[in-house]
């Protein structure tokens, strides 16, 4: 019976087991597959993962903070995205080998509304500003977002369920500590900015922890509530217990908002697809994650 798990430290509050178990149930795989949570301290990560991989009952694991860089380092093989981003959130154990992927990148693109940036027709009518994105932050989540948006790739299915393409975006990167923005932008295909024209972006992605504990996002981020407008997409990648003040302000001004829970669901769905080869129900995963 293949086992799956999320590995983190701490991992007690993770919603992944509830979300993935809901997906497995919907796929009628719940009798065969299980998904749990394993708390592993940084010092023993490598040895314990090697043991899991060698034991044979685990098909793979999700990896979360603080182990994503270590997960890439111990893999025998890694996807292009994991290598570029420098971190892996998905390990697959196959034929005695460990394969690393980063589904955070694909999760970002699949969280966006289908057709964003003009979709596959991006070079046409949509125009340049439709493909301008601002990423706030320079940590691990920012790295995945910058790389994904600068590359483009498969997006959410359209209303008929057909695959869509997110075109590559011109990505501006702002960070509180500007030198970090310069470094990640240079590595991942963005451009560091110190005073971004927030109203001009089709997409604003917040990857900072600002707002998670009820702070005023406009006191720390280079944004004003008046920058938001209809037609703009505002995505708060970090999942928090409350609806964020940033998204509430964006919604008030008519922008389309995406919460961090969607990112959790989409990266998890891509991981489950890698392990099982099946296409999980996004709706079942959203419900499972919300309930937990």
Q: By C-alpha distance, which of 27, 15, 20 is closest to 60?
A: 20
Q: How far is the CB of 253 from ligand ATR (least distance, A)?
A: 21
Q: Does 171 bind ligand ATR (CB under 6 A)?
A: no
68 is catalytic: yes
Q: Does 138 bind ligand ATR (CB under 6 A)?
A: yes
Query: Of 13-21, 125-133, 175-183, 187-195, which segment contacts ligand ATR by CB under 6 A?
Result: 175-183
- Find the catalytic residue in 68, 110, 132, 286: 68
Q: Does 285 bind ligand ATR (CB under 6 A)?
A: no
Residues numbered 219 to 238 that lie near ligand ATR (CB under 6 A) are 220
Choose which of 16, 62, 208, 271 interacts with ligand ATR (CB under 6 A). Answer: 208
Query: Of 93-101, 164-172, 173-181, 248-256, which segment contacts ligand ATR by CB under 6 A?
Result: 173-181
Query: How deeply is 222 buried, as exposed, middle or buried, from its count of CB atoms within 10 A (0-12, 13-18, 19+)?
Result: middle
Residues numbered 141 to 170 that lie near ligand ATR (CB under 6 A) are 141-142
DSSP helix/strand/coil, 5: strand
Rounded to 10 degrees, the C-alpha dihedral 157/163/169/175 comes to 40
Helix ranges, the chain (H): 16-26, 45-55, 68-74, 80-85, 103-111, 140-151, 178-188, 217-220, 245-252, 260-276, 282-291
Nearest 5 degrees, angle CA 51-CA 56-CA 60? 80
Q: Does 86 bind ligand ATR (CB under 6 A)?
A: no
Q: Does 137 bind ligand ATR (CB under 6 A)?
A: yes
If the CB atoms of residues 11 and 138 are measured against ligand ATR, the closer one turns out to be 138
Which residues does 154 contact at the CB level (< 8 Å), separation at least 6?
106, 109, 110, 163, 164, 165, 166
Residue 10: is the preceding peptide bond cis (ω within 30°)?
yes
Q: How far is the CB of 144 from ligand ATR (least distance, A)?
A: 9
Query: How deeply is 217 buried, as exposed, middle or buried, from its count of CB atoms within 10 A (0-12, 13-18, 19+)?
Result: buried
Distance between CA 102 and CA 262 in Å, rounded? Answer: 16
Choose which of 46, 113, 126, 180 interacts with ligand ATR (CB under 6 A). Answer: 180
Distance between CA 207 and CA 135 in Å, rounded? Answer: 7
Q: How far is the CB of 84 from ligand ATR (least distance, A)?
A: 16
Choose which of 140, 167, 196, 211 interacts with ligand ATR (CB under 6 A). Answer: 140
Q: How far is the CB of 273 from ligand ATR (least distance, A)?
A: 24
Helix ranges, 132-259 (H): 140-151, 178-188, 217-220, 245-252
Q: Does 89 bind ligand ATR (CB under 6 A)?
A: no
Q: How far is the CB of 60 from ligand ATR (least distance, A)?
A: 22
DSSP helix/strand/coil, 235: strand
Residues numbered 43 to 82 that lie near ligand ATR (CB under 6 A) are none
Size of the site for ligand ATR (CB under 6 A): 15
Instruction: Return residues touching ligand ATR (CB under 6 A).
Output: 137-142, 175-177, 180, 207-210, 220
Annotated catalytic residues are 68
């Amino acid at each position: 019976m293949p086992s799956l798990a999320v590995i983190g430290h701490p991992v007690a509050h993770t919603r992944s087991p509830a979300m993935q178990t809901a997906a497995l149930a919907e796929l009628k795989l719940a009798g065969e597959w299980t998904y749990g949570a394993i708390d592993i301290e940084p010092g023993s990560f490598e040895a314990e993962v090697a043991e899991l991989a060698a034991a044979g009952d685990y098909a793979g694991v999700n990896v979360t903070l603080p182990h994503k860089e270590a997960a890439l380092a111990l893999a025998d093989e890694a996807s292009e995205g994991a290598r570029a981003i420098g971190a892996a959130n998905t390990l697959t154990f196959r034929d005695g080998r460990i394969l690393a992927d980063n589904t955070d990148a694909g999760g970002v693109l699949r969280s966006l509304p289908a057709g964003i940036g003009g979709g596959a027709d991006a070079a046409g009518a949509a125009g340049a500003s439709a493909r301008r994105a601002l990423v706030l932050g320079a940590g691990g989540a920012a790295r995945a977002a910058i790389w994904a948006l600068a590359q483009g790739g498969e997006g959410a299915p359209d209303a008929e369920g057909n695959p869509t393409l997110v075109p590559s975006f011109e990505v501006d990167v702002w960070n509180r500590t500007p030198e970090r923005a310069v470094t990640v932008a240079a590595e991942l295909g963005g451009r560091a900015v110190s005073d971004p024209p927030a109203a001009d972006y089709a997409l604003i992605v917040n990857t900072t922890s600002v707002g998670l504990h009820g702070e005023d996002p406009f006191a720390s981020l280079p944004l004003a509530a008046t920058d938001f407008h209809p037609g703009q997409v505002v995505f708060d990648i970090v999942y928090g217990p409350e609806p964020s003040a940033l998204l509430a302000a964006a919604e008030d001004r008519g922008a389309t908002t995406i919460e961090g829970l969607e990112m959790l669901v989409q990266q998890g769905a891509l991981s489950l697809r890698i392990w099982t080869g099946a296409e999980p129900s996004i709706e079942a995963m959203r419900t499972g994650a919300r309930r937990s």
